[in-house]
Chains A and B, each alone.
Chain A
Amino acid sequence: MTDVILRAVRVARRYGDVVALATTDVELHAGETVALVGPNGAGKSTLLAILAGAIEPTEGTVESHARVGWVPQRPAHYSRLSARENLELFARLEGVGDPAGAAARLLERFALPTAARPSGELSVGNRQRLNVALALLGDPRVLLLDEPTAALDPGQRRRVWEAADALRADGGAVCFATQNLEEIEHATRTIVLQDGRIASLTVEEVFG
């Protein structure tokens, strides 16, 4: 097996009595794309957020050996700032050497509006593209995507998968959550989640 880039050891997340994610072990290896599949409320987003470091697990630890990019399910950016300003701000926070240059490259790559228009006024598709672009700041080796293509047109979906495939081909790792069975073809491995646990089921068994 190839090198482990990201490892979650016995991570779990509870909100009071509600178990969002039961104790789980996950490893991401260089050169693989993992699909997290499961019905609503299965714990996919929680697991991705824990892997990304966006939320703290109630128990367990996450070990990361590389920069991680995260695309949350809901676009996460400052709606009063333009796409460029969002990219530049997060580039600075990420410690990217040339924030303006990095922002300009991503704007072009994802065909995002360059005008100083608040990102909150962009179309749903453009906001989701900005969401993906923000995850690619700083050239991460691990990309965690939470239903990244839900609001995108076919052309934009292709761009997202091209970016993910390129990252994997370059020795990185990709993990994405989806309910779209057609997207599983991009994965080299599939993890099925049900009721907050990794289930020993096939995709067909989960979705009936």
Chain B
Amino acid sequence: MSAVLLLLRKDLRVLRRSPLLLAALVAYPIVIALLVGLVAGYASAKPRVAFVDDDNLPKVIVVGGHRFHIQTVIDDVAKQVTLVRLPDAEASRELADGKVVATITVPPGFLGDLQTTVVSPHLILKTGSGGLAPRVTQQMQSLVYQLNQKLQSGYIAANLAFVQLLLHGGHGRFLGKSFDVLGLDRTAKELAAMPQSKRVAAIANFVRQARAGLAQTGDALRATANPIALQQAKSHGRTWLLSAQVQSYGIAVTVTFLALLLAAGATAAERDEGTIGRLRRGLVSLGQLVWSKVALAGVVGLVLGAAIAVVFGVVVDVGGITGGEPWARLPLLLAGVLLAAGVVGAAGALLGAVAREARTASLLAVLLVLPVVFIGLVPRASLPFAYWISLFLPFVHAVRLFGAALYDTSPWHRVGIEALWLLGIGAASWMLARLAARTLTA
């Protein structure tokens, strides 16, 4: 058996005999997976939104001669959120308590403004500060967009009624006032009955042009209301983006944290135990020593990653969360986990060699892992410098690789790029760790 395998077996045996650490290693992925599963489930569930009707909307409203059933509109909204009718004060209280993630209020005078068809009434949206607030805001924006689409036909019909009045004449009402309109048709007839002159001919010409132009008003109004219409096409890819991100981050955080901690601790422990001196007497090369810690991180990371993925998948399947767990992608995910854990292990070996003491190495690993993780979460647009730094750390590539392995319709390109990044970071870490290990003396 090679020296690397002998040391790996030794490290695994030592790990097995450290009850507290072992308990933490077993519990950590389960807790992370359950939390991740719950977050995914919560994110997948419909948020509870309070509906405050301060205008006492009737069951049916008429806009521009079109009838709208309020309950039907509410049912449409309920496909995206759970809409709960509440009085204003109670809604505010529940929003403050976090029992609802948002309140949407129909203010007094809303219906009146709506029926005038000349003023845009306002719905008032208040959101809490939780992580779902942006999602609810988007859903409410979507709702208003859908309502506007339905209302615009009513508005267009109302506006067209006025155009018809201008064209054909008759009796009309606007802002509560009644009036009679001669209309272009009757104007043309009146002009034809009048003694013809150049001035009458000019007016008759204008009336013809106006009639022709107003006849196109309907299409023009509809085009103005929808300059660009969005047609939603069905996608064949996986759409459960949030779940992909949550699972990818859950596994990546766990693997990064534990692989770094284990490899750093195990490397420094060789010096603490005094065994580094025995090993360096030609029994194990420095390269083999670093490889053994890389292997330790890889094996433990693989087991923990698999545990998280399986527990997460079971939670997802049992919870009936939309999208389900892509079990067929598990081998690709686990290959990625093995690679990422090994790369982090090389960085951990470097840390252990530099720290030289297991306690210092463990503390450093804990202190380092949080910035490494958080810097990977910084969006490129908000802090480009942090983004560029994160590219040279394994975490962000691990997240992208796991996400692609699980949920990309065609994952190979993305997986290949991220694997190359990880291999590059791993090779650099391995070389630095081997160099730093020269300073490890008994």
Interface residues of A (CB under 8 A from B): 49, 52-56, 68, 70, 72, 74-81, 85, 89-90, 92-94, 118, 134
For A54, give the chain B residue with the smallest CB separation: B277
A93 and B3: CB pair below 8 A? yes
**Chain A residues, Cβ within 8 Å of B279:** 93
Report the Cα distance A160→B163, complex, angstroms.
115
Mask for B256-284, Cβ within 8 A of A = 1, else 0? 00000000000000000111011111111
**Chain A residues, Cβ within 8 Å of B222:** none
B interface bracket (residues with beta carbon within 8 Å of A) = 20 to 34
What's the least CB distance linking B26 to chain A, in Å?
18
Report the Cα distance A94→B10, complex, angstroms.
15
B413 located at the interface, meaning its Cβ lies under 8 Å from any Cβ of chain A in the complex? no
Q: Which listed residue (A76, A89, A92, A94) contacts B442, Cβ 8 A?
A: A76
B277 and A72: CB pair below 8 A? yes
For B438, give the chain A residue with the smallest CB separation: A56
Stretch from B13-21, B188-196, B346-354, B395-403 at the A interface? B13-21
**Chain B residues, Cβ within 8 Å of A53:** 280-282
A81 and B277: CB pair below 8 A? no
**Chain B residues, Cβ within 8 Å of A72:** 274, 277-278, 442
A74 and B274: CB pair below 8 A? yes
Given known contacts A56-B438, A72-B277, is B17 in contact with A93 (CB within 8 Å)?
A: no
Report the Cα distance A77→B274, complex, angstroms.
7
Report the Cα distance A78→B6, complex, angstroms.
13
Report the Cα distance A77→B3, complex, angstroms.
16
B442 and A55: CB pair below 8 A? yes
Q: Which listed residue (B1, B284, B441) contacts A54, Cβ 8 A?
A: B441
Report the Cα distance A80→B266, complex, angstroms.
12
A89 and B10: CB pair below 8 A? yes
Report the Cα distance A42→B441, complex, angstroms.
18
- Tell me the dominant secondary structure on chain B's binding face: loop
What's the least CB distance linking B56 to chain A, in Å?
74
**Chain B residues, Cβ within 8 Å of A75:** 274
Report the Cα distance A1→B14, complex, angstroms.
48
B277 and A93: CB pair below 8 A? no
A80 and B18: CB pair below 8 A? yes
For B13, give the chain A residue with the smallest CB separation: A81
Report the Cα distance A16→B419, complex, angstroms.
40
Could you pull out 19 A-B pairs where Cβ atoms are within 8 angstroms? A53-B280, A54-B441, A55-B441, A70-B281, A72-B274, A76-B275, A76-B278, A77-B273, A77-B275, A78-B14, A78-B273, A80-B14, A80-B18, A81-B17, A90-B283, A92-B1, A92-B6, A93-B279, A93-B284
A80 and B281: CB pair below 8 A? no
A55 and B280: CB pair below 8 A? yes
What's the least CB distance linking A100 to chain B, in Å?
14
Report the Cα distance A79→B277, complex, angstroms.
15
Report the Cα distance A54→B271, complex, angstroms.
12
B277 and A55: CB pair below 8 A? yes
Report the Cα distance A53→B283, complex, angstroms.
10
A76 and B281: CB pair below 8 A? no
Given known contacts A89-B10, A118-B17, is B280 in contact with A70 (CB within 8 Å)?
A: no
**Chain A residues, Cβ within 8 Å of B18:** 80
**Chain B residues, Cβ within 8 Å of A49:** 277, 441-442
For B282, give the chain A residue with the smallest CB separation: A53
Given known contacts A81-B10, A92-B1, A93-B6, is B277 in contact with A52 (CB within 8 Å)?
A: yes
Report the Cα distance A118→B273, complex, angstroms.
13
**Chain B residues, Cβ within 8 Å of A70:** 277-278, 281
For A92, give the chain B residue with the smallest CB separation: B6
What's the least CB distance linking A51 to chain B, in Å?
10
For B9, give the chain A residue with the smallest CB separation: A89
**Chain B residues, Cβ within 8 Å of A56:** 438
A81 and B442: CB pair below 8 A? no
**Chain A residues, Cβ within 8 Å of B14:** 78, 80-81
**Chain A residues, Cβ within 8 Å of B1:** 92
**Chain A residues, Cβ within 8 Å of B277:** 49, 52, 54-55, 70, 72, 76
Q: Which listed residue (A68, A78, A85, A94) contacts B275, Cβ 8 A?
A: A78
Q: Which 4 pairs of residues, A with B, have the shortest CB-CB distance?
A: A76-B274, A54-B277, A53-B281, A93-B283
Report the Cα distance A89→B441, complex, angstroms.
20
